[in-house]
Amino acid sequence: MPTTGSADRDGHALESVAATERLDLPTRRWALLMDRQSDEGLIARFLLGYRDHTRAAYQADLRDFRAWCARVGIGLLGVHRTHIEAYMRQLEQARRSRATVARRLATLTGFYRYAVQEGALPHSPAAHVRRPSVARDSQTLGLDREEAVRFLAAAQATSARDHALACLLTLNGLRVSEACAADVVDLDVERAHRVLAVVGKGGQRTLVPLAPQTVRAIDAALGGRTDGPLLVSNSGGRLDRHDAARIVARLARRAGLAKHITPHSLRHTMVTLALDAGVSLRDVQDAARHADPRTTRRYDRTRHALDRHATYTLAAFVAEVVPSPTGENHPFPPSASSSRSMTSDPD
């Protein structure tokens, strides 16, 4: 159990905050955070560093791993590398996707790294566990160009609210949580562009420009409202991510799409179609707000096309330079008259 070093400093910091601010947390949660003897307290402090859906995902992953540990009769802080590897194998045998297995391992790696930093463990049992290879191309089913047109047309024919949601997800690639959390006051004008301020991962606030079609859809959905949530549910409250997922699935059926389409499928669609339309990888990365360009490249369906190989462009570039008899390089072949003048004797 942590008794020295960073653990003591962190403990004193928590006690200081608890005595002065308490961060408006319930008494029970504060008691859990201050409990430095239990797995629950360690997990609670680890999760405190994350927000919203990331926190919920990590919490679900740790809950599943703790349940597995309980079944094999071992505590969370008594885990060794072989236990984590056995857990990974069980997930694979349960036919979980490689992406899911890799994410679970990433959660455990982060948690046990934190446990070492807290002084709860001398070293991380997840440090040298082999990560499963994940497909370099995204496996999410998005829409092609014709399907996207049909989907947006179905949304427009259904309701102004559904059309606004479809445009934000398909043409802007917003995460469903971002679209649902947006308020009317987040709309603005920036350098002659209609924009929407969204709060993305890590609490970062970003201005997203809106295409004319999206602006018209949002204006129709608002119907003159100047406050409240941007997207309203049928009951008059804020549209939540579950409502949005049901709307997307219903619109896909009305558009005659056989694919299983989710809000994330539409974010995938934005990235893929933007790349297909010739938008540069850097600009698509910025639009999708991907921190790493490799994430964006996973959506590029044409990056394996042989006719895009650099060798063709390079060969053409080199062929433009033709060596001359004088030893100088010319960017194009010399004309016939210039060749004669270079080889003929002077009068």
Closest residue by Cα to residue 269 from 340, 342, 173, 186? 173
Query: What's the half-sphere exposure (Cβ side, CA atoms, 13 Å) at 287?
Result: 25
**What DSSP line would sit under 268-312, residue for residue?**
HHHHHHHHHTT--HHHHHHHHT-SSHHHHHTT-TTTT-GGG-HHH
Ranges for all domains in the chain classified under CATH 1.10.443.10: 145-297
What's the distance, CA 56 to chain centroid?
15
Kindly tell me if the per-residue pLDDT of 327 is higher than 70. no
Q: What is the pLDDT of residue 132?
A: 77
Kindly tell me if the per-residue pLDDT of 4 is higher than 50. no
Q: Please tell me the distance from the alpha carbon of residue 166 to that of residue 156, in angstroms, as a whole number.
A: 9
- What average pLDDT does the segment 159-167 reach? 96
Sign of CA dihedral 287, 290, 292, 297: negative
- What average pLDDT does the segment 133-156 reach? 80
First to last CA, the chain: 100
**In this predicted model, what pLDDT tens digit does every residue of 7-24 receive, in sequence order?**
444 444 444 444 434 445
Q: What is the pLDDT of residue 18?
A: 41
Q: What is the pLDDT of residue 11?
A: 45
User: What is the Cα Rg of the chain in Å?
Assistant: 28
Encoding tokens for residue 309? 């190989």
What rounded mean pLDDT belongs to the chain?
80
Confidence of residue 201 (pLDDT cuts 50, 70, 90): confident
- Measure Cα distances from 220 to 164, 201, 249, 325 in Å: 8, 29, 22, 71
Q: What is the pLDDT of residue 16?
A: 41
**In this predicted model, what pLDDT tens digit does every residue of 214-272 receive, in sequence order?**
999 999 999 999 999 999 999 999 999 999 999 999 999 999 998 889 999 998 898 88
Q: Is 264 assigned a catalytic role? A: yes
Instruction: Confirm if 251 and 158 have CB atoms less than 8 A apart.
Output: yes
Q: What is the pLDDT of residue 41?
A: 83
Q: Choose, from 216, 241, 264, 289, the residue flagged as catalytic.
A: 264
Q: Choose, from 45, 83, 175, 297, the residue flagged as catalytic.
A: 175
Q: What is the pLDDT of residue 6?
A: 43
- What average pLDDT does the segment 305-332 reach? 66
Closest residue by Cα to residue 157 from 29, 248, 251, 79? 251
The yes/no answer on whether domain 145-297 falls in CATH 1.10.443.10 is yes
Closest residue by Cα to residue 32 from 21, 19, 18? 18
**In this predicted model, what pLDDT tens digit does every residue of 171-199 receive, in sequence order?**
998 999 999 999 999 999 998 999 999 88
Q: Choose, from 87, 112, 114, 299, the residue flagged as catalytic.
A: 299
Encoding tokens for residue 50? 């994350």
Identity of the highest mean pLDDT range in 35-39, 92-96, 321-325: 92-96
Instruction: Confirm if 173 and 287 have CB atoms less than 8 A apart.
Output: yes
Per mean pLDDT, which range of 208-212, 214-218, 238-242, 321-325 is the poorest?
A: 321-325
pTM for the full predicted model: 0.60
Q: Is 259 assigned a catalytic role? A: no
Taking each helix axis as running N to C, give the angle between helix 98-118 and helix 81-93, from 0 to 180 degrees, rounded to the nearest 10: 160
Kindly tell me if the per-residue pLDDT of 62 is higher than 60. yes
Q: What is the pLDDT of residue 98?
A: 82
- What average pLDDT does the segment 3-7 reach? 43
Q: What is the pLDDT of residue 20?
A: 38
Helix residue ranges per DSSP H, the chain: 6-20, 27-34, 39-47, 52-72, 81-93, 98-118, 145-158, 160-170, 176-181, 212-222, 241-254, 263-276, 281-288, 293-297, 310-319, 336-343
Q: Is 201 assigned a catalytic role? A: yes
Q: Is 175 assigned a catalytic role? A: yes
**In this predicted model, what pLDDT tens digit does every residue of 80-137 receive, in sequence order?**
999 999 999 999 999 888 888 989 999 999 999 999 998 889 999 999 998 877 655 5
Confidence of residue 342 (pLDDT cuts 50, 70, 90): very low
Query: What's the half-sphere exposure (Cβ side, CA atoms, 13 Å) at 44?
Result: 16
Q: Which residues, 6+ apart, have CB-to-CB distance to 247 below 8 Å?
A: 162, 165
Q: Choose, from 83, 267, 297, 298, the residue flagged as catalytic.
A: 267
3-class DSSP state of 207: strand
Q: Please tell me the distance from the alpha carbon of residue 289 to that of residue 44, in angstroms, as a whole number.
A: 29
Percent of the chain with pLDDT over 90: 45
Q: Choose, from 55, 113, 194, 201, the residue flagged as catalytic.
A: 201
Taking each helix axis as running N to C, give the angle between helix 81-93 and helix 52-72, from 0 to 180 degrees, rounded to the nearest 10: 100
Encoding tokens for residue 109? 């790696």
